[in-house]
Amino acid sequence: MNYEIIKDEKILKEFIEWLPVLENTETYYLCLFARSKYMGDMAPIKFDKTQLKRFTSRREDIFKKIKQLECSIGSYMLKDMAIPQETLALYITPNPRDMWKATISSLVHLAHCIQNDNRAINPHQEVMSEIQRNKSRTCFVDFDFDTKISIEELKAHVYKHVNPEAVQFLQTRGGFHALVTPDMIAEEFKKTWYNGIKSHEDIDKSGDQLLPVPGCTQGNFIPRFI
């Protein structure tokens, strides 16, 4: 048996088509995590956001690279324990990352490590972290709502502060994400939209964040646009 990362191919392919087309120096950053909280009391040991695999991808290669994550059960290990399927969650940065800026910041960071004689570094991991940090452009501002309220209630709040065509809602295992496209915000909302949306009591985080990948596993839940 293999791990199942892709839960719904149609939803995943529609999401990939929805992502912005990349420019020459851009890439997408994805990360597969294991999170024991998805198993609750059944988890054999406690761990949160254990990083199993991270990688970059061009838009047209995302599906193929996700498929490659579906290796044999037991291939992902934590200490001596095979990571359970139920703990897996795949995330992406919907805002493209800038490889050129990441190259420059990686050189600076690695030079500091050499200067400080830090011989324990993993250059590959350091560069991957710089890619994650270096956003190219703001296509979306992501608001993460950790809530069990209905989507109707959430939309009513968001639509008080931004025009509907500027926002896309994603249902996740723990609530919802509202992805706002700044370039589509109507003039009447341009000065107030961010603080207005963020005023909701159930908001967890906002900004440039990792997003659960629609159509892929999030603790065996399938995130999807609604």
One domain for residues 13 and 87: yes
One domain for residues 149 and 119: no
One domain for residues 105 and 71: no
pLDDT of residue 148: 77
* Whether residue 89 has pLDDT greater than 70: yes
The per-residue DSSP string of 20-83 comes to: PPP-TTEEEEEEEEE-GGGGGGG-SS--SSEEEEEEEE-GGGHHHHHHTT--BTTSSEETTEEP
Identify whether 215 is part of a domain. Answer: no
pLDDT of residue 149: 83
* pLDDT, the chain, mean: 95
One domain for residues 92 and 103: no
Identify whether 124 is part of a domain. Answer: yes
Number of independent structural domains in the chain: 3
pLDDT of residue 61: 99
Give the pLDDT mean for 168-179: 96
Tens-place pLDDT, residues 199-219? 998 998 999 999 999 999 999
* Whether residue 170 has pLDDT greater than 80: yes
Give the pLDDT mean for 214-226: 98
pLDDT of residue 113: 94
Tens-place pLDDT, residues 117-161? 999 999 999 999 999 999 999 999 999 998 778 999 999 999 999
* Whether residue 41 has pLDDT greater than 90: no
Q: Phi first, then psi: give them for residue 29, nearest 5 degrees.
A: -115, 130
One domain for residues 17 and 90: yes
**What is the span of the domain harbouring residue 68?**
9-96
